A and B are shown apart, each in its own frame.
Chain A
Amino acid sequence: MKYMLLIYNRPGFLEELTEDERTALFGEVDAIMRELTESGELVGGQALADPAQTRTVRLRDGLPAVTDGPFLESREVFAGYIAVDCETPERAAEIAARWPDVRFGGAMEVRPIMDDAGTEM
């Protein structure tokens, strides 16, 4: 079963850490990624640029219009994801629980990825 682990954090929280803390944090992420690679569970992942670089497309006067800035103004923003293929949902949650952003006031969402296959009812 494939899951996407959505990483939410507060923009700029990294800048408030000491250099050692940042190094430790990136080390933790590397370690998790290495473990997922070695276990054959890693499907993919991407980090997103700072929300300041966001452009949002919305309908205005019946036409799509592009504006600068995110769709939702919020304290926590969607910062990236990793996709995993795990044996159980518990395992996916366990991976999320270890993601360091959680310790710094962020949150992880564990969401099943939809499958193109299906059984007729």
Chain B
Amino acid sequence: MSTGPSPEDLRALAPRVLGALARRHGQFDACEDAVQEALLAAATQWPAEGVPANSYGWLLTVATRRLTDQWRSESARRDREAAVAAEAERLAPAVDERPADADDTLTLLFLCCHPALTPSSQIALTLRAVGGLTTAEIARAFLVPEATMAQRISRAKQRIKASGARFEPPPPAERDRRLAAVLHALYLVFNEGYTASGGAELHRAELTAEALRLTRDLHRLLPGDGEVTGLLALMLLTDARRAARTAPGGALVPLAEQDRGRWDRAAIDEGLALIADALTWSPPGPYQLQAAIAAVHAEAPDAAATDWPQILALYRLLAHLAPNPMVTLNQAVAAAMVHGPQAGLDLLRPLEEDERTAGHHRLAAVRAHLLERAGDHAAARAAYREAARRTTSLPERRYLEAKASEGTR
């Protein structure tokens, strides 16, 4: 009898068990419920009774039993006991069967990030079906009641069912678009965790580790995809700054003022190696370029040594490849560092008229920052105040209010 499994071990088994069941049976929503119940059973039984020698087999057996129980109770109503018993025999996979691990996990990711779902549903379902998290854990991370999250997940599964999607890889013509949706969902999970500030936000911060784990899995399955590699590198290089991004007490520390000695060197080295390698063989994509930008920051021993011309060139390429007002915003900061604040302010002008960004606090914050650098302190303070009023983040508001009152006292 060993001690209980770590939650990570248990979670890692989730997509393999679900894959085996869904491949056999195809009824993704019912299989997903059954696996979730098996995981919950393991979480309560294993610590008390010991981890079974074949934990994968144990989960598969329990999940299959739950599935057949469910079938049986449904069919009792329809008085089809015999047919179901036969079906149960058919759908029970042999426990010693080698799982088609890789393909299953990938198919699950594609299914969970189905275009019929909203991003928040994609995320919730991915975390449960592929990540092996419980509904309660996901609900805690997203600060909603468990019943709400349960409903969101069940609705997502209904939608997938209604869309007619099956447990199989997307058609080749759709594959790139579907993979982009998977990467985007993983990126959102990462961000959700990374921007959390610890303390009461601890459950949410764990999402970063989950996103990294799932992206690592994906990278293992698709080592030849430059964007998957790019996303993994971006997450590593960003997460490396975690310890330095908040001061004791939770105040946000801007990149330029972070204590780089507190950056995680191991994560940086891994991220740098991944992105440097990917850029030699893959056509550049948005995640690779963002990782390359993070790499330039990571390589600078201090803020003053940052290679801004390089960063500006990368943002130009990114703006060309994937035009987006948020990219322009960052490009303006880089342009200001290379060509002076006015160059940055000029780039902001079209954003003031773009309805996607006109009222956005980040635009006001960047304008404030550039005005400050230009020496126009009164206008900078006004822009910081505007940004503080527009943000819906408490730590950002605190930072922006402090900047707005700088030099006034």
Chain A residues within CB distance 8 Å of chain B: 1-2, 37-44, 85, 87, 112-121
Q: A87-B120, A121-B254, A121-B365 are in contact. Are A40 and B396 (CB under 8 A)?
A: no
Q: Does B255 contact A (CB under 8 A)?
A: yes
Q: Known contacts A37-B151, A121-B399; can you find 19 more A-B pairs with CB under 8 A?
A: A39-B151, A39-B152, A40-B152, A43-B145, A43-B148, A85-B144, A87-B118, A113-B392, A116-B197, A117-B192, A117-B195, A117-B196, A118-B195, A118-B391, A118-B395, A120-B252, A120-B399, A121-B396, A121-B400
CB distance from A7 to the nearest CB of B (A): 20
Determine whether the beta carbon of B197 is less than 8 Å from that of A120: no
Cβ-closest chain A residue relative to B390:
A112
**Given the contacts A87-B118, A117-B201, A40 and B395 also touching, CB distance less than 8 Å:** no
Assembly CA distance A87 to B152 (angstroms): 12
The reply to whether B369 and A117 form a contact with Cβ atoms under 8 Å apart is no
Closest 9 CB pairs of A and B: A40-B152, A118-B393, A118-B395, A117-B195, A40-B151, A118-B396, A120-B252, A112-B392, A117-B196
The CA-CA distance from A87 to B117 in the complex, in Å, is: 11
Closest residue on chain B to residue A120 by CB atoms: B252
Contacts of B377 in A (CB 8 A): none
Task: Specify which chain B residues have a CB less than 8 angstroms from the CB of A42 in the assembled complex.
Answer: 145, 148
Residue of B nearest to A37 (CB): B151
A40's nearest neighbour on chain B, judged by CB, is B152
Report the bound CA distance from A37 to B144 in whole Å.
Answer: 12
Q: Is the CB of A116 within 8 A of B147?
A: no
| Contact (A116, B392) CB under 8 Å given A38-B155, A44-B145, A87-B118 | no
Q: Is the CB of B148 within 8 A of A41?
A: yes
Q: Which of B380-407 contact A (CB under 8 A)?
A: 391-397, 399-400
Say how far B6's CB is from chain A's closest CB, in angstroms: 26
**B300 beta carbon closer than 8 Å to chain A:** no
Q: Is the CB of A118 within 8 A of B394?
A: yes
Q: List chain B residues, Cβ under 8 A from A118.
A: 195, 197, 252, 391, 393-396, 399
Task: Find A116's partner among B150, B258, B362, B394 (CB 8 Å cutoff).
Answer: B394
19 A-B Cβ contacts within 8 A? A40-B149, A40-B150, A40-B155, A43-B148, A85-B144, A114-B397, A116-B201, A117-B192, A117-B195, A117-B197, A117-B393, A118-B395, A119-B195, A119-B252, A120-B245, A120-B252, A120-B399, A121-B396, A121-B400
The chain B residue sitting closest to A119, CB to CB, is: B195
What number of B residues sit within 8 Å (CB to CB) of A? Answer: 43
- Interface SS majority for chain A: loop
Q: Does the CB pair B144–A43 fall under 8 Å?
A: yes
Q: A42 vs B197: C-alpha distance in the bound complex, in angstroms?
A: 24
Whether B365 contacts A114 by the Cβ 8 Å rule is: no
Nearest CB of B to A94, in Å = 15
Rounded to whole angstroms, the CA-CA distance of A117 and B396 in the bound complex is: 8
Nearest chain B CB to A43 CB, angstrom units: 5
B residues within 8 A CB of A87? 118-120
The answer on a CB contact under 8 Å between B252 and A121 is: yes
CB distance from A75 to the nearest CB of B (A): 28
Query: Across the interface, do A37 and B147 meet the contact criterion of CB distance under 8 Å?
Result: yes
Q: How many angstroms between the C-alpha atoms of A104 and B397 in the bound complex?
A: 37
Name the residue of chain A whose CB is nearest to the CB of B365: A121
Q: In the complex, A35 Cα to B153 Cα: how many Å?
A: 15
By a CB distance below 8 angstroms, the chain A residues around B392 are: 1, 112-115
Q: Report the Cα distance A120→B196, complex, angstroms.
A: 11
Q: Shortest beta-carbon distance, A31 to chain B, in Å?
A: 16
B11 close to chain A: CB less than 8 A: no
Query: Contact check: which of A1, A38, A39, A114 meets B394 at CB < 8 Å?
Result: A114
Specify the chain B residue showing the minimal Cβ separation from A111.
B392
The reply on B16 being an interface residue by CB < 8 A is: no
